[in-house]
Amino acid sequence: MQLVILACLAAVAVAAPQQYHYYDRPDYRHIAILRDEREDRGDGNFRYEFETENGIQVNAVGTPGSKGQSNIQGFYSFPLDDGTVAQVSYIADEFGFRAESPLIPTPHPLPAHAIEQIRIAEEQRRQGIVWD
């Protein structure tokens, strides 16, 4: 009976899920932080900057917003595989999150005839014309 219990415990131990850590990967390499500066004034104003040895940079400044939110303005950049550096600037405030970067896709511009149709429709709305 003791042998059966021991065999069951051994089976449970072997079947237990194994934990996987990203640093267990063979391609894992520790990246050193070259600079890490943080300031929190305790009144909703803060700033932080950091830079890593592989070229990642982050910078942000925060202030209290008019509607109780934190307004944050900053940027982050990182190296791409082709050797160029990607940079994204952003603002987050009561109007939402807005990011700017050449990497962010933009919609194609409207053709001239579509812009003209929109102008005509707006003019008709101003004149009170209503379509069913």
Domain boundaries, given as residue ranges, for the chain: 32-124
Look up the pTM and report it: 0.60
**CB distance 62 to 46 below 8 Å:** yes
Percent of the chain with pLDDT over 70: 83
Nearest in space to 93 (alpha carbons), one of 62, 114, 122: 62
CA–CA gap between residue 108 and residue 113 (Å, rounded): 14
CA–CA gap between residue 96 and residue 88 (Å, rounded): 16
Backbone angles phi, psi at 12, to 5 degrees: -65, -40
The model's pLDDT over 8-63, given as tens digits with 9 standing for 90+, comes to 666 666 666 666 666 677 777 888 999 999 999 989 899 999 999 999 999 999 99
